Amino acid sequence: MSVRPSGERRRPDIDAKLLRTFVTIVDLRSFTRAGRRLGLSQSAISQQIAAQERQLGVKLLVRAGNGVRPTSAGEILLHYARQILAKVDEAQRVLTAYEATGSGVLRIGAGGAACEHLLPSVLQSFHVEFPRVELRVTSGPSAHTIQRLLDGDLDVGMVTLPIAEAKLRLFELGRDELVVIAAPAHEWAARRRVEASELAGQPLLVYERRSSTFHIVERMLLEAGVFPHIVMELDHLGAVSSMVRAGLGLAVVPRWAVAADLAATRLAALSIGKSGLYRAWGLGQRAEDHQPQTLRAFVRLCLERLPPLLTM
């Protein structure tokens, strides 16, 4: 509970509805005509202005001749009131267009590899359906995407699961497999599987220690009694693949991220353990946020397009 220091005056609140009443009275120079335009009685109009004058502690309107005019304080308020109401009206127009015609901005978050390999086909389909929507895509680890969602900086984010956050609404997208990749000349290139314990002493290239992939791999190795021998850390998954192709070490990456290299035999992929190493993906958004049609459409496209891509 906050306590206001003794003697500190409470800052008066300014209500946009009352500002509109005030501006209408000034424009029409009449309480009666303003009431008719706004659908209010003269008594209600007078009460609104009186309440606003009490809150602000100044006289806003005076009767003069055949009508009503603003006082000096009222002239000051009128200047700002017109600007405020113009912005309110603009916001209402933009929001109406956003919902009705699919214009506006959609803010999306995902990991760098997902932005490169998974989201393009979804965003292409979305753009065809909503060409007027500006797309803002922010890459970063799942933990950062979650925080940006909670802070209101993103509308939707692709994240790894599980997540224990009641303020987020989550849609499950499916699982992907993390595999060990090796150069075609590596002694393991002809194998299909490798045990976690066999990675002891092997030179490992890692993609961002902040990423969920690294934490999953690190936990898997430590549980197998292997302390990872990291020889290089990179902040771009494509660079990891290039370094592995050059024979500089092994790496653990999503299978979908190297699908093209595997098809062209530029890399070999080995499942980890008897059943493989998998992780779950989801789409998150703030539970209390409004769901405009553009956001609903994006979620629908993700649920349709991403599950098959995750299992490539």
CB count within 10 Å of CB 226 equals 19
**Could you list the mean pLDDT of each consecutive 10-residue stretch along the chain, which spans 312 residues?**
49 76 90 87 88 87 85 90 84 64 81 93 94 91 92 92 90 96 96 95 90 88 93 91 96 96 97 95 88 89 96 88
At residue 101, the pLDDT reads: 58
User: What are the C-alpha distances in Å from 141 to residues 47, 59, 109, 245?
Assistant: 55, 56, 9, 25
Q: Which two tokens stand for residue 270?
A: 């080995």
Q: List, by residue range, all CATH 3.40.190.10 domains of the chain.
A: 104-173+280-310, 176-278
At residue 2, the pLDDT reads: 45
At residue 100, the pLDDT reads: 60
At residue 312, the pLDDT reads: 84
Give just the sign of the alpha carbon dihedral 299, 300, 302, 306: positive
At residue 1, the pLDDT reads: 43
CATH topology of domain 104-173+280-310: D-Maltodextrin-Binding Protein; domain 2 (3.40.190)
At residue 103, the pLDDT reads: 62
At residue 230, the pLDDT reads: 93
At residue 39, the pLDDT reads: 87
Q: List, by residue range, all CATH 1.10.10.10 domains of the chain.
A: 16-101
Give the CATH number of domain 176-278. 3.40.190.10
User: What are the C-alpha distances in Å from 13 to residues 17, 59, 83, 224?
Assistant: 12, 16, 17, 62
Please name which of 214, 296, 281, 307 lies closest in space to residue 253, comparing C-alpha atoms: 214
Please name which of 63, 66, 65 lies closest in space to residue 74, comparing C-alpha atoms: 63
At residue 239, the pLDDT reads: 94
At residue 97, the pLDDT reads: 59
For domain 16-101, the question of CATH label 1.10.10.10 is answered with yes
At residue 3, the pLDDT reads: 47
At residue 288, the pLDDT reads: 81
Claim: this prediction has a pTM higher than 0.85:
no
